[in-house]
Structure 1
Amino acid sequence: MTVKLFIRHVLGVNADHDGLYRKTAAYYGTVEQQGRLTLHLHLLLWIANSLSPHEIRNRMMDPQSGFQRKMIDYLESVHQGEFIGRTMTEVQNDILYASSDPDYKDPTQTLPEAPPYPCNHQSDQKCKNCKKGDIWWGSFKNVTNDLLYRSNIHSCGDHCMVKGECKARFPRPYVEETTVDEKDEYITLRKLERRLNTFTPALTYLLRSNSDVTSLLSGTALKSVVAYVTDYITKTPLKTYTIFQTIRDV
């Protein structure tokens, strides 16, 4: 039921509104059961009227076009690799300070608050609803950063280390700003936190849990992820003795 609600209301499938990433053309996903019986969703999303990787590359390389800047702005708005306006240390201190308040609640244990209806005029501090909107956006950023710190930071350990290397490829390279390599035509998106999974702020705020959002900008990457996701359909289910062992451990 949760997945169905997500597909309808967040992705806008069979709904009277566009999805979080604009109009959805198609989707494909499967739910994986992990060793400790927790479930999580792997999903591929195709956006309606989107260009092919080849068409995007050609337009990105046109210096006379504003397409490159618009494309980067869109990607950075839905694919982020750093906290919102804060460093990890600052977020850690913010959480420590906020949690000292007796009324503080762990955001992973709460539901998201809907924003106030937007006004039909420019922001005006004399407008009570505009003030409510500003307060909500401030809360949105703080809560999202709190959620990211609790849920999206990768810590290496026995679960991911193989021969001294992390299977999840952490820590990731630090990238100060998004660049487009004119030689190999590759987009390298900004990433300021090396151990933070890339995410969409609104999605993190809604789901209140770990998420990993990636934009597939090449045919090779797309084929690899399609193979990765579809592989879960044919995964061998857990053995009975493993299930009982897991239940006992939990």
Structure 2
Amino acid sequence: MNVVETEKYTVNSLVRGLEILKLFNEETPTLSLLEISKSLGVSRTVPYRFLHTLQSMGYLDQDESTKRYSLTPKVLELGFAYLNSLNLPKIAQPYMEKLRDELDTSCHLSILDGQEVVYIGTAPVRHVSVINVNIGTRLPAQSLANGRVLLAFQPQERLEEKFIANQTMNFSSLQKELEKVRKQGYAISEGDFLPGVRSAAAPIFDHTGSVKAALNVVATELLLPEKLLIEKAVPKVIEVAAKLSEHLGYKK
């Protein structure tokens, strides 16, 4: 597309509105109408309409006494929309591969769908293929460390919708287990789903504080003895999950 075509499809009002938002920063957290017009190199009448629009949309606030404008938290949605549009498995892959190599365990990324865990990323250890999973694999959430992590940070009403009607399981017992996971911030499983297999999992949160996914490592008891699980695997999984949460805009 040449310069003429580019100018033809440029929406000047949108450009101007974005220019105004970009004027606010750490050094200039508030601006007056005069300061904005000077920065844009226009008369005061030009930015007034844009400021009114941005204020009505909730992106700007104006102090009634000083008449100065400032950004509102809603502006963060623009950045978080970008962050959330990123491919989490793609972001997580190098982290999972490093974790796999450090612990000599398979590493997986999963999300919750109903009462099942769905695997959306994986970094397998080749010599323990018996416990490796493929992307798209579904397994019962309540039986897995990563599943319990995902369940533990669900709203109570959603948990009840998922499980309370299930007459084949003890919902009260599950509740107690999930409360423990919430308090400690991670989950472990030792032969719960597959005999002789251990796993540690931690939650990944998005910018709203909602659990987005779970990160877990898994290996046989021989490769992941209990001491290694508790003293090394759990802290590393928590650390990496926290880094991935930061990528999604999460702040404690």
TM-score interval, normalised by the smaller of the two chains: under 0.3
- Bigger relative CO (Cα 8 Å, ≥ 6 apart): 1
> Which structure's CA Rg is the greater one?
2
Which structure is higher in helix share? 2
Which structure is higher in strand share? 2
Output the TM-score relative to the length of structure 2.
Answer: 0.25
